[in-house]
Structure 1
């Protein structure tokens, strides 16, 4: 009797052990970190430092070579239209003019003699006292002499213009921002003598990186303020973008036309320009959230009620240094796993270590 009870107990214990061996293990809860998907309301604000310059700026230069004997204006002077800004030694041009005038006078005398000869031949031909050959010769000499006079008159006009070019005038009202030569120097035609900022609008000029040129808004409103006094503010629009980047800095020069510039924004002032980029299309998540499903990018999404995860394919718009921008696949407010993605499986229960 005692032996049968022992055998029955052993049978029950063996049965229970077999049941425990065949039952599935309890599901393991994985701790994960998550982030809440948020869609950006507005874009980032970019700040750049630039300088105030005249909207219309000209380099005044002589049209002829020569030694400059006078430059009565200096940096900072305010000029009026027609004001003298420089003079060259006119001796060479005066000599050229005198030579051209003397040559003209000589040719005019020859022409007068040729005309008288032609008139005599014309009268003699009527009465038959000369030949047609003599008449034709006199006519040809008159035409040649007249052509030479026309050429000499043109040379006189050129010489007078060259003499006028020895005086340099301001073509408009404005302020002198730079000078390129001093009295006594020999200057070449086209060499900048005075740089003139004409009266009119002002530009805020910035050196802009290529990425901002490519990805920035098309016609942004630029907020401008003095770097040393942020209370002095203005706004402007992009007026001109350089077609080629600077070879050294690889940036593009951008001119922003300042609307109603304050008096304190003088030429040469350092300013700060700010533009607001467009809102990022799509949603942004940390790059650590990325995994793969069927050869396509995917993320683990947490069900907030059951605390289980599911793997969802997404479409990526852009990769940044630490984040990715997702164009499709996620909605605002969803929880995405950012740490522990390699140890998950569909339907697994997770424990949130922290949600941002």
Structure 2
């Protein structure tokens, strides 16, 4: 019986498929070669934690000068930035009252000296008369007491005269050491109180870089930490220093601690009040650090590819990153020492993929 056209077509199609199957390249059925990667073994090592602060330059020794007494300010010769020498007159108070008190003390001293001279002469007469039997013991003792009283009054008058001299001297304010004026106070004509700041002088014996540091960094930083300080407007101007003082109490507003770094041979460009940046590194103990190239992202979180040497496969794992820079990532959680992570080729991997290790790095 002759074949129908449909059967003829089916036979032709089957024959075509058989021929194609026979002609297929056997290479197409070969599984893909393992992808080459580079790896590193995770280790815990001592890590240095970098610190960066912004602060200011201050004098290592800055004093506030003030009058010991109150009064009306006659003159204030201090100007910001002026250099002063030891003993230089900086300000004066009106001294009429103190001058009058000095003259009164001088007069009281003269009177006391006269009374003492009179009492001494009377004592000497009574002493002579007593020896000759022409006076009584009671008169002699009275003369003795009068001389002692006159001597005491003279001593008191001398002390009052010295105090009056001091009061006159207190109307003049002089620098006790060479330095530079960093702050000025009231102007001439104002009434000032004892102890009120008239000016601040930075003595010429050192510079500090002062920073406001959070409490957690103060706890982490070791004592005598070395700091590199640079000007913010010219980072090429630098100086080295060490922490010499940490405030015992936090600032009540900012809750930070004032840290003073004593600078060694600071350049002249680091003027008082200049803004600086301090950089330091402190040992944070053993931590896991991996190359930055090992870090990828999975499930919207940082991740790494972990290599299984027994199966030559990789699997992705999310990690917690403590900090990172362009070269290294510090991992807080997610990896253990001894594990192997992929450092090159991470972008072309998938879960469970077989890989071929080209080399390992440290």
TM-score (structure 2 length as normaliser): 0.72
Unpaired segments ≥5 residues, structure 1: 1-34, 287-300, 310-317, 337-349
- Once the two structures are TM-superposed, the CA of residue 302 in structure 1 deviates from its matched residue by 6.9
Deviations 1:249-303 (A, max 9, x none): 11111111111111111111000000113154143799xxxxxxxxxxxxxx974
Structure 1: distance between partners of 2:354 and 2:78: 74
Name the structure 2 match of 1:330.
336
Rounded to whole Å, the distance in 1 between the matches of 2:338 and 2:97 is 82
Q: Secondary structure at the match of 2:235?
A: strand
Q: Kindly tell me the number of residue pairs found equivalent between the two proteins.
A: 288
On the 8 A contact 1:76/1:175 being kept in 2, the answer is: yes
Shift, 1:351, TM fit: 2.1
Summarize the alignment of residues 220-235 of structure 1 with structure 2, pairs less than 5 Å apart: 220-235=225-240
Cα distance in 1 for partners of 2:145, 2:353 equals 112
1:304 to 284, 303, 309: 309
90, 96, 104: which one aligns with 2:109: 104
Which residue is equivalent to 2:74?
69
C-alpha RMSD of matched pairs (Å) = 3.2
Q: 1:231 to 1:81 in 2, by over 3 A?
A: same
In the alignment, structure 2 segments of 5+ residues that lack a partner are 1-39, 296-305, 315-319, 324-329, 343-350, 356-362
Q: Deviations over 1:160-182 (max 9, x none)?
A: 01101111111111110001111
TM-score normalised by the chain length of structure 1: 0.73
SS at match of 2:103: helix
The aligned residue for residue 283 of structure 1 is 288
| Match in the other structure for 2:192 | 187
What residue is the counterpart of 2:123 in the other structure? 118
Contact 1:304–1:335, Cα closer than 8 Å, also in 2: no
CA distance in 2, matches of 1:74, 1:247: 32
Q: Is the 8 A contact 1:223 1:273 kept in 2?
A: yes
Tell me, what secondary structure is at the counterpart of 2:278? strand
CA distance, structure 2, for counterparts of residue 320 and residue 45 of structure 1 = 12
